[in-house]
Amino acid sequence: MKLWSPREMRVAPVLDSERNALPVQARTALLINPFYPKDPHASFGKHVLTPTLALTSIAAATPADWQVRYWDENLLQGSPELEPLPSVVGITVHLTFAQRAYELARWFRDRGAMVVLGGLHVTSCPDEAAAHADVLVIGEGVQLWGRLLKDFEAGQLLPVYHGDYRQPYRDLPSPRRDLLPRNSFLTTTSVIATRGCHNRCDFCYLSTRGLHKPYQLRDVDQVVREIQKDNQPYAVFIDNNLGSRKDYLRLLCQGLRPLEKIWSAAVTIDVTDDPTLVREMALAGCTGVFVGLESLQNANITSANKKSPNTEDYARRVAILHDNGIQVNGSFVLGFDHDDPDVFARTVSWIEANRLECATFHILTPYPGTPLFAQMEAEGRLLHKDWSRYDTAHVVFQPKQMTPDQLLAGYAWCYQTLFSHRSIWKRRPVEIRAVPMYLAMSYLYKRSNSLWHMLIKYRWTARVWSPLVELSRRRHVAFRKRLARHPMVGQSTGNIVSAGV
For the residues 422-426, what does the mean pLDDT come to? 97
pLDDT digits over 260-283, tens only?
A: 999 999 999 999 999 999 999 999
Residue 101 and residue 188 share a domain? no
72 phi and psi angles, rounded to 5 deg: -115, 110
C-alpha distances (whole Å) from 314 to each of 240, 295, 322, 461 are 20, 10, 12, 34
Say what the pLDDT of residue 206 is: 61
For the residues 232-256, what does the mean pLDDT come to? 95
Residue 319, domain member (yes or no): yes
Q: Does residue 488 have a pLDDT over 90?
A: no
Residue 56, helix vs strand vs coil: helix
pLDDT band at 486 (very low <50, low <70, confident <90, very high): confident
Residue 220, domain member (yes or no): no
The least confident of 32-36, 47-51, 377-381 is 47-51
Say what the pLDDT of residue 452 is: 95
Distance between CA atoms of residues 49 and 150, nearest Å: 34
Helix axes 343-353, 314-323, angle to 10 degrees: 30
Say what the pLDDT of residue 22 is: 76
Residue 152 and residue 71 share a domain? yes
Residue 177, domain member (yes or no): no
Distance between CA atoms of residues 304 and 200, nearest Å: 9
Q: Does residue 181 have a pLDDT over 50?
A: yes
Say what the pLDDT of residue 198 is: 67
Q: Please state, for a pLDDT cut of 90, what percent of the chain lies above it.
A: 78
Say what the pLDDT of residue 203 is: 61
Domain coverage including residue 426: 182-209+227-485
Residue 501, domain member (yes or no): no
For the residues 410-435, what does the mean pLDDT come to? 94
User: Cα 487 to the chain's mean position, in Å?
Assistant: 33
pLDDT band at 36 (very low <50, low <70, confident <90, very high): very high
For the residues 193-212, what does the mean pLDDT come to? 66
Q: Are 49 and 329 in contact (CB under 8 A)?
A: no
Say what the pLDDT of residue 166 is: 74
Say what the pLDDT of residue 18 is: 65
Peptide bond connecting 84 to the previous residue in cis, omega within 30 degrees of 0: yes
Distance between CA atoms of residues 42 and 412, nearest Å: 9
Say what the pLDDT of residue 208 is: 62
- CATH code for the domain of 136: 3.40.50.2300
Q: What is the DSSP letter of 21?
A: P
Q: Among candidates 32, 50, 35, which has minimal Cα distance to 237?
A: 50
Residue 262, domain member (yes or no): yes
Q: Positive or negative CA dihedral for 394, 130, 80, 28?
A: positive
Residue 231 and residue 379 share a domain? yes
Say what the pLDDT of residue 193 is: 94
Give the total number of structural domains in the chain: 2
Q: Rounded mean pLDDT of the chain?
A: 91
Q: Does residue 420 have a pLDDT over 70?
A: yes
Say what the pLDDT of residue 497 is: 39
Residue 194 and residue 151 share a domain? no
- CATH code for the domain of 464: 3.30.750.200
Alpha helices in 296-434 (DSSP H): 298-303, 314-323, 343-353, 371-378, 404-418, 421-426
Residue 186 and residue 158 share a domain? no
Element (H, E) at 31: strand 24-33
pLDDT band at 199 (very low <50, low <70, confident <90, very high): low
Residue 123 and residue 65 share a domain? yes
Say what the pLDDT of residue 434 is: 86
Residue 374 and residue 247 share a domain? yes
pLDDT band at 383 (very low <50, low <70, confident <90, very high): very high
Residue 199 and residue 103 share a domain? no
Residue 152, helix vs strand vs coil: helix
Give residues with Cβ within 8 angstroms of 29, minimum separation 6: 62, 66, 67, 68, 69, 86, 87, 88, 89, 90, 149
Residue 203 and residue 142 share a domain? no
* Beta strands 190-191 and 234-237, pairing class: parallel
Q: Does residue 211 have a pLDDT over 70?
A: no
pLDDT band at 171 (very low <50, low <70, confident <90, very high): confident
Residue 111 and residue 200 share a domain? no
Residue 358 and residue 297 share a domain? yes
Residue 466, domain member (yes or no): yes
Say what the pLDDT of residue 491 is: 45
27 phi and psi angles, rounded to 5 deg: 55, 40
Residue 203 and residue 113 share a domain? no
pLDDT digits over 319-344, tens only?
A: 999 999 999 999 999 999 999 999 99
| Strand ranges of the sheet holding 190-191, from the earlier edge strand across to the other edge | 190-191, 234-237, 262-267, 286-294, 327-334, 358-363
Residue 341, domain member (yes or no): yes
Say what the pLDDT of residue 19 is: 62
Q: Are 25 and 86 in contact (CB under 8 A)?
A: yes
Distance between CA atoms of residues 395 and 400, nearest Å: 12
Residue 311: CB atoms within 10 Å: 18
Q: Are 91 and 101 in contact (CB under 8 A)?
A: yes
Residue 496, domain member (yes or no): no
Distance between CA atoms of residues 283 and 307, nearest Å: 27
